[in-house]
Structure 1
Amino acid sequence: MSADRDLGALTGALLAAARRAGADQADAMAVSAEMTAIDARAGGLEHAERAEAVEIGLRVLIGGRQACVSASDHSEATIAEMAERAVAMARHAPVDEWLGVADPDELASRRDAAGLESADPGAAPTPEALEQSALAAEAAALEAKGISQVESASASYSRRLMRIEASNGFAGGYARTSHALSTVAITGEGLGMERDYAGEGRVWAEDLPAPETIGKLAAERTLARKGAKKPPTGAFPILYDRRVSASLISHLLGAVNGSAIARGASWLLRAMDEKVLPDGLSLTEDPHRPRFGGSRLFDAEGLPTARRTIVDAGILRGWTLDLATARKLGLQSTASASRGLSSPPSPGISNVILSGGQGSADDLIADMGRGLIVTSMLGASINATTGDYSRGAAGFWVENGQISHPVNECTIAGNLRDMLLSIRAAADAEPWRSIEVPSLLVEGMTIAGA
C-alpha cells in the first residue's frame, strides 16, 4: 500500500471513530515524516540525528465546542480511545458559536500540490552526503584568515507527507521536502569574540547554494563584526538589512491576523482602508509560488487558496482569516487556516512579497547620513495593542553615508505604526524567502547604546 493510501486509511478511521463517539463534525490529519540532520565541527562529525514517524490528529466539534487530540500510535484501540477522549473533552469546552467545518460547496476542487513542485523528486541525500556538505561549509569558513573556529556547520533534509480529511467530504494531501545548510563562524577570543552565520533552505536540492558559498559568507559576515562597540544613544535612522527586514513586516502580518482582530488586541484594529505603509509599497500573499515551502492549493479547512492583496499602495485592504474568525467578524475566510496535529485551525500566512522598493541598500545608506544598520536582533518587547516596539540589535554604524564600524549591545525602539509609515524600501529582496522583503530604512528611531 502506498504512503498516501496509508494516511488516507488513518484519517478515514479517525473520522469513523469520531462519529461513533458522538461528534457532530470532525476533521483528521495524518502526517508521515522523515528527517536527517548532521552537525560537523573540527573536521569531523559532531552530531547526527535521524527520525521517522507517522502521527495522527483528530479535532471533534459538538454543539459549538471543540477539542483536539493526537497520537503516534495508530492501532484501532488507540484511534477509538482518541475519539472518545476528544468527545469527552469537547463536552466540557466553552461554547464558541463560530466554530464549524466548511460547507461542502466552499471546498477546494484541487486537493493535492499539482504544479507547486513542493517535493523534490530526487533521492533523499544520504547521511554521508549531508556530512560532506557540512564539512565543506566548515572548511570554506576556516579558510578565511581571522576565523578562529567554526561553532557549527549543519546540513539537513526532511520530507513530510500530509493528509487531511473532514466530515464535510473534503480529503486532500501533499508532500513537502526541505534541504538546509548553515554555518556559524567565530573570530577573536574572550571578550573580543564575535560571531555571525549564514544559512539557507530550499525545497529542491538543486536550488540550494553550494556548501562552500555558505561557509565563505559566514566567514565574511563574522570578520566584518570584528572590533564591534556600542553605538551612541539618540534618535537616528535605522536601516534593517534584508537579513532581518522581514521581521518588521511580520509584525504587520501579526497585527492583521484574524485572531488578533477578533480579540480586539491589535494595533491595527481600526486601520482597515487606512494607510499603513508608504504610497508606493504593496504587500501580497501568493500561496501558489512553485518550490516554496509555504505554497498550498488548499488551507487546513479545505478551502481553495488564491493570491490576495493585504496592503495595496500603502492602504490596508484585508485581514488574514480562517473560518471561525471570518464568521465572528461577518466576513469571508481568506483560506488562511493552518493547524497542527494537536491544535485547531488558526489564521496563518504562506508566501508574502513586499513590492515597490527602488534603488539599492547602498543608496539608502548614503541617504541616511548617520545611523545604524541592523543585521541581527535578539529579544523583543512588542505591545500587541499599541505597537510599541523594543529590541536588542547589532550591526554597523554609518557616518557620512558610509559604514564606519561594527556595533553591538544596543537597543532600538519606536512605535510600529509610525515606523512602517516612514519606511523606504530598497530593491534587493532575496526571492527565495517565504517573506520576501528588501532592506528597509526607518527614520527617527531611538537607539540606546553607550
Structure 2
Amino acid sequence: MSGSTTSQGFAFQREQFQQIIEDTLAIARDLGASDAGAEVSEGAGLSVSVRKGELENVERNRDKSLGVTVYLGQQRGNASTSDFSRQALEQTVRAAYDIARYTAADPAAGLPDEADLVTPEEAARDLDLFHPWALDADTALALARRCEDAAFATHKWITNSEGAGVSAQQSHFWAGNSRGFRGGYASSRHSYSVAPIASKGRQMERDAWYSTQRDAMDLAAPEAVGRYAAERALARLNGRQVPTGEVPVLFENTLASGLIGSLVGALSGGSLYRRASFLLDSIGQPVLAGHLDIDEDPFIVGGKASAPFDDEGVRVHRRRVVDAGVIQGYYLSSYSARKLGLRTTGHAGGAQNMRLSSRRTQPGDHLDEMLRKLHRGLFVTELMGQGVNGVTGDYSRGAAGYWVENGRIVHPVHEVTIAGNLKQMLRDIVAVGADGYTSGARTTGSVLIERMKLAGQ
C-alpha cells in the first residue's frame, strides 16, 4: 500500500498512522510502562440490499480505532479510543496504565519475544490484499437487482426472495510495540449474495449463494450467482425424510471446511491450556485418516487469510499441520504458548490459508465422482444448530441435503440429524474431492465420511 491512502477512500494516510503509533508508545514509555503495544485502524465500506427489486437498505460505514496495551512487568491493561487527538492519546494510554496497575500479575503476560517478531523486510511483504472498489450506491443497486432478477428468471417456481446484496469493504492499519515491531497494510473484501425462495403448491424452500473476493474484478457475474442460488432452491423441492440408521455421509465442499474449523479449535492454545479440547497432547499422534494432509500457507498472493505477520507482529510460516493423518503442530499465540510452556506458532488471530488434501484424490474426483464413491447414503448441503462439543468431540447437527442410491441423487432430504464423534469422524474420512472450495481461511473439497448416525423417521 502506498503512503498516500486518502485517494483510495481512506481519511488517513499511512504516515499519520505511523506517527500516532510512535506518539502512543512514547507516552506509555514516559509514564513508566515496561512494555507497550498499539494498533490504529480505519475501515470504510458500502452495503446495498434489495428485495423483489425494491431497494431495502443503503448502509455506509466508516470507523476508526486506536487500541493500546500497557505492561507493568507482568501486569497488563488495555484501553481504546476513536479520538486521535493528542489529549485522547494521553488519556487512553493513562487508562491502560491505570488498569495494569490494579490487575494481578500473570506469568504468561507480555509482548512476544523479540526473536519471534518479524523483521521490517518481512513485515513489508506485499501479498496483494488491497483492491479498492469505487462503488457508488446506484451501481451497487443495479448489481444487486441483476443478481436477484437472474434468480427469478431461472424458473417460474422462484416466486419470492429474502433479498440480494452487494458489499464493498476496505480497511488499513498500522501497529507497533516497544520491542521494535512496526507493520501494517491495507486489505479489501467485496461480495454479491442472494437468497431466493422456490414454491410449488404448499412446498416452499429457500437457498442462497454468494461470491466474495478481495478484488471485485474476480467476483462471479451477478447473474451466475443468482441462477445458481435459484437452482439450489429448486433442487430442494419435494424433500422427504429417510429412515434412521448408520450411513455414509458426504459433506458438500461448502460445509466440509467446518470439520477443519473444529479441528483448528481443538488444536488452538486457548482450548489446550484450559484442558477444554478433545485433542489434548496430540502432537505426533494419528488423529486423521492416514491419507490426509493439511498444509498452511500465509503467503498466498491475494489469499483470503494471507498475512505477512500475525496479530502480535509475530513471524508466520508455511507449514504442514497434519502429515499422513499425524498432528504436527498447534495454533498458538505468545500468551497461550507460554501457558503451555511452548513457543508461539504465529497464530494470534487464527489460522492462515489451510488446505485439506488426500493422497487418494484424483484430478477427476469432482462432485459426480464423489457421489459415486458415496454410492448409498446422505449428501449434506446444509447444517443447522451448533451441536459440536469441543471438549468431548461429540457432534450432532440438524441437516438437509439429498439421498443417494447407486451413486446418483434420488430425492431431497430434510428434517434429519447426523451424529458422531469428531475423533472417529476424522479417522473415518475415506475421500476428499477435487472440487476445492475456499471458505475464509480454509480450503477443501467435498469430504466423504465412512459412517455416521442418521436420525430420520
- Structure 2 length normalisation: TM-score? 0.92
Unaligned ranges ≥5, structure 1? 339-347
**Residue 345 (structure 1) aligns with:** none
Matching residue within 131, 134, 153 for 2:144: 134
**Residue 343 (structure 1) aligns with:** none
One-letter identity of the residue aligned with 1:266: S
One-letter identity of the residue aligned with 1:421: R
Q: Secondary structure at the match of 1:244?
A: helix
The C-alpha deviation readout for 1:33-56, integer Å capped at 9, x for no partner, is: 101001012223211100112211
**Residue 22 (structure 1) aligns with:** 32
Distance 1:123 1:383, change over 3 A: closer
Q: Give the Cα separation in 2 of the matches to 1:377 and 1:19.
A: 51
The C-alpha deviation readout for 1:80-124, integer Å capped at 9, x for no partner, is: 22222212222333332122112334321235554311001x552
Q: Give the Cα separation in 1 of the matches to 2:416 and 2:29.
A: 57
Structure 2 contact 388–394 (Cα < 8 Å) conserved? yes
Distance 1:137 1:105, change over 3 A: same
Distance 1:163 1:410, change over 3 A: same
Q: Secondary structure at the match of 2:255?
A: coil
**Residue 353 (structure 1) aligns with:** 355
After TM superposition, the runs of 4+ consecutive aligned structure 1 residues lying more than 6 A away are: none
One-letter identity of the residue aligned with 2:135: P
**Residue 32 (structure 1) aligns with:** 42
Q: How does 1:16-415 map onto structure 2 within 5 Å?
A: 16-109=26-119, 110=121, 112=123, 114-120=125-131, 123-145=133-155, 146-188=157-199, 192-338=203-349, 348-356=350-358, 357-358=361-362, 359-415=365-421
RMSD of aligned residue pairs (Cα, Å): 1.8
Q: Secondary structure at the match of 2:42?
A: strand
Q: Secondary structure at the match of 1:143?
A: helix
**Residue 446 (structure 1) aligns with:** 453
State, as a whole percentage, how many aligned pairs show the same letter. Answer: 37
Deviation at 1:414, TM superposition (A): 0.4
Unaligned ranges ≥5, structure 2? 5-12
One-letter identity of the residue aligned with 2:392: T
Q: Give the Cα separation in 1 of the matches to 2:399 and 2:294.
A: 25
Deviation at 1:161, TM superposition (A): 0.5
Structure 1 contact 176–293 (Cα < 8 Å) conserved? no
**Residue 341 (structure 1) aligns with:** none
Deviation at 1:252, TM superposition (A): 0.5
- Structure 1 length normalisation: TM-score? 0.93
Q: Give the Cα separation in 2 of the matches to 1:246 and 1:331.
A: 27
Structure 1 contact 112–174 (Cα < 8 Å) conserved? no
Q: Give the Cα separation in 2 of the matches to 1:360 and 1:218.
A: 20
Q: Give the Cα separation in 2 of the matches to 1:42 and 1:361.
A: 32
Structure 2 contact 267–277 (Cα < 8 Å) conserved? yes
Q: Secondary structure at the match of 2:150?
A: helix
Q: Give the Cα separation in 2 of the matches to 1:322 and 1:403.
A: 45
Deviation at 1:226, TM superposition (A): 0.8
**Relative to structure 2, which stretch is displaced further, 252-261 or 8-17?**
8-17
Distance 1:19 1:31, change over 3 A: same
Q: Secondary structure at the match of 2:233?
A: helix
The C-alpha deviation readout for 1:235-274, integer Å capped at 9, x for no partner, is: 1111100011100111011111111112211111022111
- Count of residue pairs brought into register by the alignment: 440
Q: Give the Cα separation in 2 of the matches to 1:181 and 1:190.
A: 30
One-letter identity of the residue aligned with 1:162: F
**Relative to structure 2, which stretch is displaced further, 203-212 or 83-92?**
83-92
Structure 1 contact 111–173 (Cα < 8 Å) conserved? no
Structure 1 contact 236–446 (Cα < 8 Å) conserved? yes
Q: Secondary structure at the match of 2:392?
A: coil
Matching residue within 403, 427, 432 for 2:434: 427
Distance 1:45 1:330, change over 3 A: same
Q: Secondary structure at the match of 2:135?
A: coil
